Structure 1
């Protein structure tokens, strides 16, 4: 397992991280993995060198955090534990969002559910346009100063949202985001327009959620074949939205070809592509069973050749939108490394 620094921090995290969205039981549960199976999955990930576990207060209405906390008893010091805040955790008018009230209340609740004294990485799960950015960043800085949180990150923010947050932190000398957690796959490359360059320019680590697009990029979904039953996408394209189905299948065909030639799974090829992209620190993988985790963990040792990577890049290349096509045409003499992360293939 490789370990990479998380942004500009001194914290090293494994390139494969464990996601716990499948942890939960009951009518509000997103997943169905209970405590016994969670312990087995966590031990498997630990055995492979994973040191980052990611959860969120909203997963299964808090049950995911509870299971994670119980499963980590006696092992807490050995793991980098990340969770999130933003979405609704009750029916009251202040039970959602990123107000100081909600952030601090939910941090306290997460600490209790996780059975821990600190959260290593506390992430704001989505943007809140109704709370002043100064209030959001001050609340997060308070949690760091109080010792409840060690690092902070954002997730699913736009580029200008991130810059507002960083600027607010810099004005006061408060805690700065060290990472952003985003959706970024060989099929969904929109993050390359702004989020990847911002990460490179501002020193943010990139944590990739759903790097297999809910199973779409495993090779199980093929052109002209019935969608596999029991999968998230068995009936409809849910998350991520697929705007060009033919392009998706073209990408999958290249993934499958490379996987067969290398005698690995399609999932490992898709994960290896993501881990080789500029700015990416770690890919967060989940699974309903041990076999899925075992397979995904194999991606940590797979290095794609330049030819394999080029084939995947070519089949998935996005069109340049404005102002980037204009920059490629007229500003190529004055581009930074962050600019080139997007523009180099188009120059």
Structure 2
């Protein structure tokens, strides 16, 4: 397993911080926090999500949805707002007089708000996909298998890839609903699903009819950590709201023997997004298939911005082989992935060397 952290990643780590907002003298009221980016150290300037300031608006949250509001001035918040900025111990102090490696406690006078943007400008929950939208986004489809539903991606006129946990049984009948028109639906059946023991959570659906007018995605051959990426899926509400696009960066490309076996992104991924496509925002190339996000087993909390996708380079040769000659052999090999790949998908570190018996 290997990862390459370039200079850009180190710079990003130095620029990251955590911003907390609370009321002065009211610790019982709690605080609101989010990640931020240090834009400037002299003068101290930090960029973060405006949502944490909503409870402190003088005129209430209704101000954000008022007609014609493009931004709110920095004095829109109450005087009792206190901002707390914490940064990496190895980073230079960005604001205030705090020592390096210690939280900087800033009053509105020392670090006032430049502006607040209304939530419509950007939302961590994703933006509904509206026509015409980027052409590559239309490759996402809704997949229904009995009472279970999820997302999928069209890789050929009569072939859809999704996750095994969306369509787990081979020969099962599946209903596929394309992005446009919303009333369209095509039946298909599962021709392949990986075993539960396979690290790759994949199912392949063959359609009874061709999907017309769908832009076939171009599978990528290379991955670049730090590039802008987008996930298209039918998360949370499925067909009711249609597909949504969530954006982020490709934060990690995990490799085994110099071969990518897992992609990590910061796109918001929720239930129903499984099986959806991961695209390069710039090129529109298909990078992978969304397989999972992260859940805390102790608290049950889900972290939508920490998620994992199967690289399309793992699947493309087998998909092409099946599409051309109907041979499932390449797909069956996914059930026999090497142990280092299984270790990666269990989110474990590989052993430095094979253990030896002391006998």
Is TM > 0.5 for Structure 1 vs Structure 2? no
Q: Determine which structure has greater relative contact order: mean sequence separation of CA pairs < 8 Å that are 6+ residues apart, divided by chain length.
A: 1
Structure number, greater radius of gyration: 2
Instruction: State the TM-score, normalizing by the size of structure 2.
Output: 0.25
Judging by fraction of residues, say which structure has more helix. Answer: 1
Instruction: State the TM-score, normalizing by the size of structure 1.
Output: 0.26
Judging by fraction of residues, say which structure has more strand. Answer: 2
